[in-house]
């Protein structure tokens, strides 16, 4: 199962992500892939809105993990791009994946073997200045239902 959507504005991307954020539960894991400027941080900002996070969400590029704990659920926004030679165990990522919050993992291919068995994978593609293609692939029954509710409309 896979869903493909075309987003024609940053607002539309954030709105769709907000709808997803409103449905997320503790322990949910979202994998985000996309080149620089594809909209990963924009998408995560929308998720944060859906989780009622009041803080401004920023890219975790230089910090590996940014934690936002003041919403309906905590949001753990991770950029594991530089962790090719480091395991998730060494960083304690499992505590985030199976904890009380929602984990958003950018560049998840670098810790693929350490990820939970089930997750929602979202790939963002830069089409032009305002247009993005979003490909959503749910892995596991919970994420199939979630994807159908949010992206199957």
Is residue 137 scored above 70 in pLDDT?
yes
Contact partners, residue 29, CB within 8 Å, separation at least 6? 97, 102, 103, 105, 115, 116, 118, 119, 120
Lookup result for tokens 């998840």: 108
pLDDT digits (tens, 9 = 90+) for 37-78: 888 999 999 999 999 999 888 876 666 788 999 999 999 998
Work out whether the CA dihedral 21, 25, 27, 29 comes out positive or negative.
negative
Please give the pLDDT value at position 13.
94
3-state helix, strand, coil in the chain (%, to 5): 35, 25, 40
Contact partners, residue 44, CB within 8 Å, separation at least 6? 17, 32, 57, 75, 77, 104
Please give the pLDDT value at position 60.
67
Beta-strand runs (E) in the chain: 3-7, 29-33, 65-68, 75-79, 102-106, 119-126, 132-139
Please give the pLDDT value at position 90.
64
Give the residue-averaged pLDDT of 129-147. 96
Report the number of distinct structural domains present in the chain: 1
Distance of CA 77 to the CA centre of its chain: 8
Of the candidates 86, 139, 91, 89, the residue with the CA atom closest to the CA atom of residue 117: 139
Tell me, what CATH number does 140's domain have?
3.40.50.300
Range of the domain at 12: 3-151
pLDDT digits (tens, 9 = 90+) for 76-132: 998 877 665 555 566 678 888 988 999 999 888 878 888 899 999 999 999 998 899
């Amino acid at each position: 199962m896979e869903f493909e959507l075309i987003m024609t504005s940053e607002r539309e991307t954030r709105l769709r992500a907000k709808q997803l954020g409103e449905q997320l539960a503790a322990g949910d894991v979202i994998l985000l892939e996309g080149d620089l400027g594809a909209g990963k941080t924009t998408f995560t900002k929308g998720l944060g809105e859906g989780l009622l996070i009041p803080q401004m969400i920023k890219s975790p590029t230089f910090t590996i993990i940014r934690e936002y704990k003041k919403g309906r659920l905590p949001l753990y926004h991770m950029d594991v791009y530089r962790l090719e030679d480091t395991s998730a165990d060494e960083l304690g990522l499992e505590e985030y994946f199976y904890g009380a919050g929602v984990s958003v993992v950018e560049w998840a291919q670098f810790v693929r073997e350490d990820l939970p068995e089930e997750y929602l994978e979202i790939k963002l593609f830069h089409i032009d200045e305002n247009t993005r293609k979003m490909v959503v692939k749910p892995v596991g029954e919970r994420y199939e239902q979630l994807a159908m509710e949010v992206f199957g409309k």
